């Protein structure tokens, strides 16, 4: 077993093989590697990539935005990947964030991660929702000049500038950006059948606009499976998802290491 720097020459082929066994966000991985290759590490069983981790340096924090591994990967390998990443981040003050699965809690706790907020995975499987979606509604939430609202709202919610991360790493050809003066929603294709909402930020009093965006993504993307990570303790947000037939499934926790970040969870309709 080799654990260390990514094998650059075969990286895309290695990801293709890994995606045959577990669902991965290949575009996010490749763009993360392009931006911060020094914060990308893999575990190789002979020539096969079996686990991958990456982090992105934001204005005030680090976000572990990819952590994938095959089902039979041992905790020792996961710990070695995390340890290697922290050694290369080499920062014991700035917040380090991770959206951790329920089964990863003991693992991340061993590295002194603390809970910030509970989340759940919301999944839309299609069908079962009847609503009006007129041309006027569509025009009200689709604007070309969406970057100012993204810049303002995202910084308000996360208390740091994440625009470069959103533009350079999350945006892709399949991106759909819905926006009003009260919020924005970004979604993109993971693969041919799966859509992820990330991020979706709204002012806390903007429920009417949030509902328009929910209708918008179902109207435009509803023939495919749609998922998002949502704050499970914010009733208004979870109620919106359930009212449009999203299943609220797996438990996650947004965890942090080092200093505690300042995030307005009630603005996060999708992380």
DSSP string, the chain: -EEEE--GGGHHHHHHHHHTTS---HHHHHHHHHH-GGGEEEEEETTEEEEEEEEEE-SS-EEEEEEEE-TT--HHHHHHHHHHHHHHH--SSS-EEEEEEGGGHHHHHTTT-EEEEEEEEEEE-S--------HHHHHHH--S--HHHHHHHHHHHHSS--HHHIIIII--TT-EEEEETTEEEEEEEEETTEEEEEEEEE-TT-HHHHHHHHHHHHHHHTTSEEEEEEETT-HHHHHHHHHTTEEEEEEEEEEEESSPP---GGGEEE-
CA distances (Å), origin 84, targets 40, 41, 72: 10, 8, 20
What is the pLDDT at residue 43? Answer: 98
Non-local CB neighbours of 170 within 8 Å, separated by 6+ positions: 28, 186, 188, 198, 199
Is the CA virtual torsion 230, 235, 236, 242 positive or negative? positive
Q: Is 167's pLDDT higher than 70? A: yes
What gap in Å lies between CA 92 and CA 236, rounded to an integer? 36
Q: Is 97's pLDDT higher than 90? A: yes
Over residues 227-234, mean pLDDT: 98
Q: Which of 233, 254, 252 is nearest to 113 (CA)?
A: 254
Q: What is the pLDDT of residues 104-118, one digit of tens each?
A: 999 999 999 999 999
Q: Is 13's pLDDT higher than 80? A: yes
**R_g of the chain, CA atoms, integer Å:** 19
What is the pLDDT at residue 126? Answer: 82
Over residues 22-27, mean pLDDT: 95
> Is the separation of the CB atoms in 141 and 216 below 8 Å?
yes
What is the pLDDT at residue 130? Answer: 80
pLDDT confidence of 128, banded at 50, 70, 90? low
Domains of the chain from N-terminus onward? 2-94 (3.40.630.30), 122-270 (3.40.630.90)
Q: Is 127's pLDDT higher than 80? A: no
């Amino acid at each position: 077993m080799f654990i260390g720097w990514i094998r650059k020459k075969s990286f895309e082929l290695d990801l293709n093989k890994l995606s045959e066994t577990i669902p991965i966000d290949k575009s996010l991985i490749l763009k993360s590697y392009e931006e911060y290759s020094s914060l990308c590490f893999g575990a190789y069983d002979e020539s096969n990539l079996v686990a991958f981790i990456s982090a992105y340096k934001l204005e005030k924090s680090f976000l572990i935005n990819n952590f994938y591994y095959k089902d039979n990967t041992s905790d020792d390998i996961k710990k070695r990947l995390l340890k290697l990443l922290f050694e290369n981040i080499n920062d014991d003050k700035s917040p380090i964030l991770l959206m951790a699965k329920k089964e990863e809690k003991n693992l991340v706790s061993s590295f002194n991660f603390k809970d910030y907020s509970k989340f759940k995975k919301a999944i839309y499987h299609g069908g079962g929702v009847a609503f009006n979606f007129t041309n006027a509604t569509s025009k009200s939430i689709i604007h070309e000049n969406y970057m100012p609202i993204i810049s303002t709202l995202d910084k308000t919610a996360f208390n740091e500038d994440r625009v470069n991360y959103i533009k350079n790493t999350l945006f892709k050809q399949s991106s759909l950006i819905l926006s009003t003066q009260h919020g924005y929603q970004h979604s993109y294709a993971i693969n041919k059948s799966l859509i992820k909402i990330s991020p979706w930020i709204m002012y806390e009093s903007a429920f009417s606009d949030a509902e328009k965006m929910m209708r918008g993504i179902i109207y435009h993307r509803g023939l495919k499976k749609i998922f998002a990570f949502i704050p499970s303790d914010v009733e208004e947000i979870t109620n919106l998802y359930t009212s449009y037939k999203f299943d609220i499934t797996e438990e996650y926790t947004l965890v942090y290491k080092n200093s505690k970040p300042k995030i307005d969870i009630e603005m996060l309709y999708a992380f």
